[in-house]
Amino acid sequence: MTELKAGLKGTAAWTVTENMSARVCRSGSLDVFATPMLVALMECAACDAVKDALPEGSTSVGTEMDAKHTAASPVGAEVCAEAVLTAVEGRKLSFDITACEGEKVIGTAKHERFIVDAARFMAKLAK
């Protein structure tokens, strides 16, 4: 198992489909990569950064996202995100994330996640 410490990196890469467009997601009217999908891509990269370092039975849940979507990407574009774990404070994980389409930066974010016991978390929701 990887040690959970600052410096861990994770990535996510997607091809933008029509289902990821602002028009389909209802976050706008154009067939461009939707901001909610950009946030999901960024969270995916953060999860990837820590997936091999979390304790058995644990996962992480997103609690805060301060994202900027700075450039549009058309349907068919290849987009990717890289997340860097910048701090571990108890169960709180902090990340810096950059998303790109090729060499073009399309977004940046500061993101926080918390480590939770997956079974206990879901049991609490069932009550």
Q: Write the pLDDT tens digit of every residue in 43-91.
A: 999 999 999 999 999 999 999 999 999 999 999 999 999 999 999 999 9
What's the CATH code of the domain at 55? 3.10.129.10
Residue 93 lies in a domain: yes
Residue 1 lies in a domain: no
Angle at 16 between CA 13 and CA 19, to 5 degrees: 125
Q: Which domain holds residue 100?
A: 9-126
Is residue 43 annotated as a catalytic residue, yes or no? yes
Residue 2 lies in a domain: no
Q: Say which of 2, 3, 15, 35 is annotated catalytic.
A: 35
Residue 76 lies in a domain: yes
Q: Say which of 59, 69, 82, 111 is annotated catalytic.
A: 69
Residue 127 has a pLDDT of: 85
Residue 4 lies in a domain: no
Is residue 111 annotated as a catalytic residue, yes or no? no
DSSP H or E segment with residue 45:
helix 35-50
Residue 16 lies in a domain: yes
Is residue 69 annotated as a catalytic residue, yes or no? yes
Tokens of 4: 């959970």
Residue 49 has a pLDDT of: 98
- Between the two ends of the chain, the Cα-to-Cα distance in Å is 33
Q: How many structural domains does the chain have?
A: 1
Residue 3 lies in a domain: no
